[in-house]
Structure 1
Amino acid sequence: MSNVEPLRSEVRDGMRIDWDVPIVMDDGLVLRADVFRPEAPGRYPVVLTCGPYAKGLSFQEGYPSAWNGMVLEFPEVGAGSTNKYQSWEVVDPEKWVPDGYACVRVDSRGCGRSPGFVDHFSARETQDFFLAIEWAGVQPWSNGKVGLNGISYYGMNQWQVASLQPPHLAAMCIWEGASDWYRDATHHGGILSTMWANWYDMQVKTVQHGLGERGPRSKVHGDTVCGPDTLSDAQLQANRSQFGDDILGHPLDDAWHRERSAVWERIRVPFLSAANWGGQGLHTRGNFEAIARAASSEKWLEAHGLAHWTHFYTDYGVQLQKRFFDHYLKGEANGWRERPKVQLQVRHVDRFVERQEHEWPLARTRWTRYYLHFGDHSLRTEPPAAPATVDYEALGDGLTFMSLPLAHDTEITGPSAARLRLSSSTADADVFLVLRVFTSDLREITFQGALDPHTPVGQGWLRASHRKLDPRFSQPYRPYHPHDALEPLEPGQPVDLDVEVLPTSIVVPAGYRIALSVRGKDYEWQASTGLKLSNLKNELKGCGPFLHNDPRDRPAEIYGGRNTLHCDPADPPFILLPVIPD
């Protein structure tokens, strides 16, 4: 453990800032926090984050492509702040402290200025978060009400710590935070996501505690971002889990995954859950699932588009967050509880239109089946009349079924589900579904997603050996698979697959077409784009970093060969779409 340096406190830019405040854990380890609070003495509500990205690393230095793109498109993000205290995926204290909030940033165990062993989303890390909340709730500058707010990782771990019910936790804003470690994050439909192993290299190892002089220095106070000690590579490796291998080693939804997931019946704190329509792979499903399953009686849903950090920092997002926290942390009677439970940025091909709703999925949804017709690869509302089969390369681009031009503008907003009958020449098969929109001249319409600028309208995945359904949680529009055992295929024998397609929103103009692709690999908008983000390894081709291409998880001898789709007119294949009437 690093030595505990004395607390440093100073006044800068209208704030009292306490740097590297020690928070002692129940095992004696000391986490480090920065506290930004009003100059005037008093007790203030707390907005707290705890995570691995190093509190002293500036957004601009750590994630330059994301920062530069955001402020170029939305200058309001940088306005009204020196931006010296901007950090990745947490609030800007210069925009919160003047409104009477204390902002606390805690480096999680093993990261940034906090020593220890890195083990993401583990019970140990969640207990640390619990203790940090309880510490903040009893400080002399705290009013005893702690709110949690942050993007992605800083949202995901809120679900876990809320399951422990910290007494001083008063409210949460989870901005694009996955809640089910298996289904939302590591295994989509049972298929391994390679994102996490790459993320670990790019965003955690680069700020691990112990990099010391080998790591960055704070642009504000000059100290090393990753602690005072400089460790060897061997020492650093010994202080962290083998995260990618750990995930690979748990291919089913077992106790390891459940330790890192929400316990819905224990989450009772008020919350605002903000999802991204284009966040397939991490930033969509969990926020919608929370609305359906968390025990909280006071819960609100917001859904938006654009890059997943953008609206957290725009005036739109900040004002929404403050109104929520003003009520629950300050006790202001600002009408929050009377507002509709759902706020949607409904997506059009060229804009977003804000709309208030009262439930999710929308009660007025017209659940509409679009059937797959194999003969002409069409997608129609009338079922096929004759038996048929069609096959495709099991690891290839698959097949696309397309509707006729729509007669009128059609809104699709909500979750979807597909029913397929499939056989394979091998003992298993991976199905990748892509919901797509095409113009009248057959150009595909894609959108700026949470990370990728050419994200399709919707995606879903399922490994055929994981096809078993859990009737406790399955809905016609959201099949739920337990992922607790394998049911291998008999080559050539068809089985029924119910595939979850994640929630989406799109108003498809008249004359456009909708389509469903059934693929054997990840969607690609085009073979090469030349587009990258500074914090990602891979080129952005349509799925961002959320790829499923690890050959250890998808060996060709099991997932290669040929897949065949079967049509029985008594139970034909379809996708169930949430059509919203005018």
Structure 2
Amino acid sequence: MKYREQFPRQVRRDDVWIPTRDGRTRLHARIWRPEDAETDPVPALLEYLPYRKSDWTAPRDAQRHPWYAGHGYASVRLDIRGHGDSEGTPGDEYDAQELADGVDIVNWLAAQPWCTGAVGMFGISWGGFNALQIAALAPEPLKAIVTVCSTDDRYDNDVHYTGGAVLGIDMLAWAGTMLAFASRPPDPANVGRDRWLPMWRERLDALEPFLHTWLAHQERDDYWRHGSVCEDYSALDAAVLAVGGWNDPYRDTVLRLVEHLPEDKVRGLVGPWSHQYPDRGLPPGPAIGFLQETLRWWDQHLKGADTGVMREPRLRAWINEPVPPATSYDVMPGRWVGEAVWPSPSVTWDERPLGSGGDPVLVRSPQHTGLDSGRFFPFGNASDLPPDQREEDGRSVCFDSAPLQTRVEILGRPRVRLRLDSATPRANVIARLCDVAPDGSSTLVTRGVLNLLSRHGRDQAVEWTPGTYEDVEVELTGIGYAFPPGHRIRVAVSDSYWPWVWPHGERGQLTVVPADSALLLPVRDPAHDEGREPIRFEEPEQAPPLPVTYDQPADPRAERLVTHDVAKGEWTLEVDPNYGGSRTYPDGLRYEESARETYRIRTDDPLSATAVSEWTIRLRRGDALWNELGDDHGIELGDDHAKGHGNDWDAEIVTRTELRATSADFIMDSRVEARANGETVAKRAWHRTTPRTSA
């Protein structure tokens, strides 16, 4: 990693309040821009998030916003209404208010004297989502976006549902996370010591757990169509650079965008990465010079320069070389390939029957099948990726190819077509594609889920008639991968996948006819690369890092811990999401964060499934903290927070969210307790039930 201290233009930073159209609410922004932008205006770039620019994303922000400013842009980091230091109360994710505010900000930025009138948006995950969604609203100044690890389909490619099935692991976990995040107070250093507590009380009074809303919409309805740009790709007029990683669950969005947007409006880039910006150097690598690559995008579309970025292939993708199974890789071996069009003529469909005859096979997996699924959102941590799949394969029905005689390279979304019958009206089917080495180790390549109720469309729930056979197709998530000679290609089929997929209320079984079932592989011809210039990127470059001190526990707890109560037949998975833990900032802010997710299920009982998310967050600043930590944590207090000024601030939030189910209903319990300087500010609790219409 190269840290750049000198830039073509000198940079200043300002914290500003930006008005919205209601005239009552101001949003808080941090703006880095060239010092001479008043006389030599620049385009503006907006990153728009609920994740708190003053602390949670501050280290990441310091890597990129000053870098963009030094290269001739006003780079803006904005807190969404009701989050961080912005006024107002938090709403649902990507709600109409959030998007309207975003349009207001784009227009405000374009009107500033230091702005040329051209605006871009960028972001990862939430920020990538609303960049796409605001672009679909087409504010005139918004000319280009960079959307990273985001989705065009909020129902079937987000944290709520997959293949029409409830995502047990992230439906609950992300709802619990956002309950904790939305409960955090504004910082008195930014909003004023007389305002922060009333603002916080207003937020806490307005809280409503996301989980209630998400489970009230179990089919693809208008709630999910809102913000899903796949409903009308033609609404996107801004130029779109879509970026993803093969270890991120949203990667299929890149493939869909490059397929459906006009050639002169889109480019796609998919690397081996997790749910992270590609320049951060977090596993798996290799990292690339992503800031330099996006600068080419901005200069092309916001400054009118010919940077050559639109002469790049429509899709640049990484092909993973085979590796032994592991939960983390510093660098994933492989190579870059380019496709001028997508779908590509270099990719053809290879249909491989799962069997040549014989009797149907029964699929009746233990309920704890899926414990080796890995993290839904790999984040660059040590336990993110799925381990050796042999135990999972043993809990599934497997169909193996003969040892391969030649290399088989795939790029795209494999499919598994199954002729099957279900013994119950409601069931899930899960298909995993694995690479089996000669030593028997099994590496997960990709996977897919289908809730059989949604087999005729995600907008409807059609129960199965037991005793009848149908052909169903499970679409797996996209991948670039090379199976080597001597290895076997395995399709593993199960009807359980906990905790990724919430089980239906009745234990059933599937009957599959292998001879009438098949794996469809998008096989890529490497000869397509002959005579082409190799795809290269610069080495990562960033602005100097923010000097944050992270705690290093003497005895860190396990990120993923599986235990088995043999007598009860109960399996427990405990997860530490490890978003960074506790840390101390150079301005004297102490941010402490602890989270734990717990998933339980009994081998033979789908109704035993429970999921719990627990969070504790504490923010502190002032004399008491100085006396406790002092120089050991490198605190350098500015004038506003100097020792002896009596400006102690201590805010703490404790949350708990639980999900369980009967055969008829989902049951949700959530609670929040907030304290300021040891005194309770608010206690809130919710108990909700909602019918199981599709799940």
The normalised TM-score by structure 2 is 0.64
- Residue matched to 1:188: 162
Q: CA deviation at 1:58?
A: 4.4
CA shift, 1:91, in A, is 6.1
Aligned mates of 1:138, 1:227 — CA distance in 2:
32
Tell me the SS of whatever aligns to 1:344: strand
- Of residues 183, 189, 206, the one that matches 1:239 is 206
Counterparts of 1:205-224 in structure 2, within 5 Å, are 205-208=179-182, 211-212=185-186, 223=190
SS at match of 1:461: strand
Aligned counterparts of 1:35 and 1:359: Cα–Cα separation in 2: 38
Q: Secondary structure at the match of 1:181?
A: coil
Letter of the 2:501 partner, please give it: H
Match of 1:105 in 2: 77
1-structure distance, mates of 2:524, 2:359: 31
Q: Deviations over 1:34-78 (max 9, x none)?
A: 11101123211111111111111144xxxxxxxxxxxxxxxxxxx
Corresponding residue for 2:234? 265
Separation of aligned partners in 2, 1:227 and 1:126: 30
**Aligned equivalent of 1:94, options 59, 62, 66:** 66
Greater relative CO, 1 or 2 (CA 8 Å, sep 6+): 1
Q: Deviations over 1:294-349 (max 9, x none)?
A: 35742111110122214144542222111111111121122222222121122112
Provide closer, same or farther for how the CA distance between residues 171 and 233 of structure 1 changes in structure 2, counting only shifts above 3 A: closer
Structure 2 SS opposite 1:390: strand
Distance 1:462 1:494 in 2: 16
- Distance change (3 Å), C-alpha of 1:512 and 1:268: same
> Contact conserved, 1:399 with 1:518, CA < 8 A, in 2?
yes
What one-letter code is carried by the residue in structure 2 that aligns with 1:506? Y
> Do 1:271 and 1:299's aligned partners in 2 also have CA atoms closer than 8 Å?
yes
1:131 counterpart SS class: helix
The 3 A distance-change label for structure 1 pair 438 and 27 is farther
Does the C-alpha gap of structure 1 residues 248 and 183 become closer, same or farther in structure 2, counting only changes over 3 Å? same
Paired with 1:400 and 1:56, the residues of 2 have a C-alpha distance of: 50
Which letter maps to 2:341? E
Aligned partner letter, 2:513: H
Distance (whole Å) between structure 1 residues aligned to residue 431 and residue 201 of structure 2: 42
CA distance, structure 2, for counterparts of residue 225 and residue 364 of structure 1:
60
Partner amino acid for 1:576? L
Q: Which residue of structure 2 lines up, in the alignment, with residue 277 of structure 1? A: 246
Instruction: Specify whether residues 173 and 399 from structure 1 end up closer, same or farther in structure 2 by C-alpha distance, changes over 3 A only.
Output: same
1:67 matched to which residue of 2? Answer: none
Report the 3-state secondary structure (helix = DSSP H, G, I; strand = E; otherwise coil) of the residue aligned with 2:97. Answer: helix
Spell out, residue by residue over 1:435-491, the C-alpha distance to the aligned partner (whole angstroms, 9 max, x if none).
Answer: 11121111123xxxxxxxxxx3111111111111xxxxxxxxxxxxx3111110112
SS at match of 2:290: helix
Structure-2 residue corresponding to 1:529: none
Q: Distance in 2 between matches of 1:315 and 1:517?
A: 34
Q: Which residue of 1 aligns with 2:253?
A: 286
Is 1:556 matched up with 2:556? Answer: no
Q: Does 1:576 align with 2:520?
A: yes
Tell me the alpha carbon deviations over residues 214-246 of structure 1, each in whole angstroms, 9 at most, x when there is no partner: xxx8xxxx5479994226997544323321121
Count residues with an aligned counterpart: 470
TM-score, with structure 1 as normaliser: 0.76
Distance 1:488 1:27 in 2: 50
| Corresponding position of 2:627 | none
Read off the aligned partner of 2:420 and give its amino acid letter. Answer: L
Q: 1-side partners of 2:504 and 2:312: how far apart?
A: 51
SS at match of 2:476: strand
2:339 corresponds in structure 1 to 357
Q: Distance in 1 between matches of 2:200 and 2:292?
A: 44
Tell me how far 1:209 sits from its aligned partner. 6.8
1:547 and 2:519 aligned: no
Work out which of the two has the higher radius of gyration on C-alpha atoms and give 1 or 2.
Answer: 2
- Name the residue aligned to 2:216: 249
Opposite residue 34 of structure 1, the aligned amino acid is R
What are the superposed Cα offsets for residues 241-295 of structure 1, whole Å, 9 maximum, x if unpaired? 3211211110011011111311312112111111211223xx2122222222235
* 1:27 shift after superposition: 5.7
- Could you tell me the percent identity over the aligned residues? 24
Question: Using the alignment, how far apart are the partners of 1:333 and 1:166 within structure 2?
Answer: 24
Secondary structure at 2:211 match in 1: helix
Q: Summarize the alignment of residues 526-545 of structure 1 with structure 2, pairs less than 5 Å apart.
A: none
Give 1:548 deviation, angstroms.
2.1
Query: Partners in 2 of 1:157 and 1:295 — Cα distance?
Result: 20
One-letter amino acid matched to 1:371: P
Q: Tell me if the contact between 1:110 and 1:240 (Cα under 8 Å) persists in the aligned partners.
A: no
CA–CA separation in structure 1 for the residues paired with 2:431 and 2:193 = 42
Q: Residue by residue, what CA displacement relative to the aligned partner does 1:392-432 show, whole Å, maximum 9, x if unpaired? A: 23745321212222112221111112211222221111111
Asked if 1 retains the 8 angstrom alpha-carbon contact of 2:19 and 2:26, the reply is: yes
Residues 135-182 of structure 1, C-alpha deviation per residue, up to 9 Å, x if partnerless? Answer: 111111111111111111111112211111110001011111111000
8 Å CA contact retained: 2:416, 2:474: yes
1:531 corresponds in structure 2 to none
Which of 133, 145, 148 aligns to 1:172? It is 145
Question: RMSD of aligned C-alpha atoms?
Answer: 2.6
Q: Could you say what secondary structure the match of 2:289 adopts? A: helix
436, 450, 460: which one aligns with 1:462: 450
Q: How is 1:5-16 mapped onto 2 (pairs within 5 angstroms)?
A: 14-16=10-12
> 1:74 maps to which residue?
none
Give the secondary-structure state (helix, strand or coil) at the position aligned to 2:442: coil
* Aligned counterpart for 2:403 among listed residues 368, 393, 405: 405
Any stretches of 5+ residues in structure 1 without a counterpart?
A: 1-12, 60-84, 374-383, 446-455, 469-481, 524-545
2:162 partner amino acid: H
Q: Work out the CA distance in 2 between the residues paired with 1:352 and 1:483.
A: 35
The CA distance in 1 between the partners of 2:486 and 2:63, in whole Å, is 43
Equivalences for residues 25-424 of structure 1 within 5 A: 25-26=21-22, 28-41=24-37, 42-59=40-57, 85-87=58-60, 92-114=64-86, 115-185=88-158, 186-194=160-168, 195-202=170-177, 204-208=178-182, 211-212=185-186, 223=190, 228-230=195-197, 235-262=202-229, 263-280=232-249, 283-294=250-261, 297-313=264-280, 314-349=287-322, 350-373=332-355, 384-386=356-358, 388-393=360-365, 395=367, 396=369, 397-424=395-422
Q: Is the CA contact 2:90–2:182 (under 8 Å) kept in the aligned structure 1?
A: no
Using the TM superposition, give the Cα deviation of residue 31 of structure 1 relative to its aligned residue in structure 2, in angstroms.
1.4
Residues 425 and 562 of structure 1 are in contact (CA less than 8 Å); yes or no, is this contact kept in structure 2? yes
Q: Is the 8 A contact 1:200 1:243 kept in 2?
A: yes
Say if 2:179 and 2:210, in contact at 8 Å, map to a contact too.
no
Contact 1:45 1:144 in 2 (8 A): yes
Provide the rounded CA distance (Å) in 2 between the counterparts of 1:165 and 1:91: 29
SS in 1 for 2:59: coil
Q: Pick closer, same or farther for the CA change 1:272–1:310 going to 2, 3 Å.
A: closer
Which residue identity is paired with 1:32? H
Gap runs ≥5 in structure 2: 1-8, 281-286, 323-331, 370-394, 527-695
CA distance in 2, matches of 1:247, 1:209: 19
Q: CA 1:291–1:26 in 2, change beyond 3 Å: closer, same or farther?
A: farther
Equivalence for 1:450: none
The one-letter code sitting in structure 2 at the alignment partner of 1:492 is G
Distance 1:347 1:210, change over 3 A: closer
SS in 1 for 2:174: helix
For 2:283, the equivalent position in structure 1 comes to: none
